Structure 1
Amino acid sequence: MADPARARKLAVRIRQIVSAAIESQIKDPRLGMVTVTDARVTNDLREATVFYTVFGDETQVADSAKALASATGVLRSTVGRQTGVKFVPTLTFVADHVPDTARELDEAIERVRHADAELARVRQGAAYAGEADPYRRPAESADDDETADESADETADSGSRS
């Protein structure tokens, strides 16, 4: 089993090699605007997964996937020549859905902002249905002094009657 740090370094190098090779060596007309976003290598350095995105519609994504699948051998031999590792890892290309997910999250956040703005607009003319502060508070100290005097008077009056 190899060192995980070595696997990470090899993954970075594979990402660089594959992206340069796609740009310069692969002349397949089906290949669209492909961007290599990430590469991951297993700890035994036998398999590499290369993540990519394609700018375009679904047909361009499908065509680019076919082009990358047919160019896997050329890309693997290029990786083997440029890395110099004993066993060249097999390459697997996976379409990266992170940009699509990020776009959906941005749209959801924008919808929430509009809903918050609408709620703020509705709240502007609103008033409380009851009191502004519905919680009971203890009586203020000035009122306490008056009630204490009254209860002392009542106690004195009841004591004088007896």
Structure 2
Amino acid sequence: MSLRSNRIAEQMKKELGDIITRKLKDPRVGFVTVTDVEVTGDLQQAVVYISALGNDREREDTLKGLQKASGFIRTEIGHRIRLRRTPEISFEFDSSVEYGNKIDALLRSLNDE
């Protein structure tokens, strides 16, 4: 990733957190944390990695709600960040959070023994 796309990804991450918590009114979207944003070098695509609280069904509903609102979110990003073209946004769950929690649990169980 280039320096520019890194900068834009960081700026998008900050703005996305604000947009999702303050502007989005979809009842399916629960408590969401934007963990990372990856923007392609040509600034056409952005993958937003999220973590969400709840069981599997609630998390899937959250993802569906975010994907449904991606047009609105993209428009909001376009107003906040000055770019010629705002990247297409797609959402994915960040598995690294769960992986980290699993490793943490394993280390705790070893420590307890």
Normalising by structure 1, we get a TM-score of 0.66
- Structure 1 residue 55 displacement after superposition: 1.1
Alignment-derived partner of residue 39 in structure 1: 37
Matched, 1:94 2:92: yes
Provide structure 1 residue ranges, at least 5 long, that are not aligned to the other structure: 116-162
Match of 1:51 among 49, 52, 56: 49
Taking the aligned partners of 1:33 and 1:14, their CA distance within structure 2 comes to: 18
- Structure 1 residue 45 displacement after superposition: 0.7
Alignment-derived partner of residue 78 in structure 2: 80
Taking the aligned partners of 2:25 and 2:13, their CA distance within structure 1 comes to: 19
RMSD: 1.3
Alignment-derived partner of residue 68 in structure 1: 66
- Structure 1 residue 16 displacement after superposition: 1.2
Q: How many residues align?
A: 113
What letter corresponds to residue 43 of structure 1 in structure 2? G
Alignment-derived partner of residue 105 in structure 1: 103
Q: Cα deviation per residue 1:83-135 (whole Å; 9 max; x = unaligned)?
A: 111111000101111121111101211232244xxxxxxxxxxxxxxxxxxxx
Taking the aligned partners of 1:56 and 1:69, their CA distance within structure 2 comes to: 18
Q: Which range is displaced more, 104-113 or 64-73?
A: 104-113
Percent sequence identity is 27
More strand by share: 2
Which SS does the other structure have where 1:15 is aligned? helix
Alignment-derived partner of residue 8 in structure 1: 6
Q: Cα deviation per residue 1:52-108 (whole Å; 9 max; x = unaligned)?
A: 100111111011001001100000011111111111100010111112111110121
Taking the aligned partners of 1:41 and 1:110, their CA distance within structure 2 comes to: 36
Runs of 4+ in 1 over 3 A off after TM superposition: none
Mark the structure with the bigger radius of gyration: 1
Taking the aligned partners of 2:36 and 2:111, their CA distance within structure 1 comes to: 32
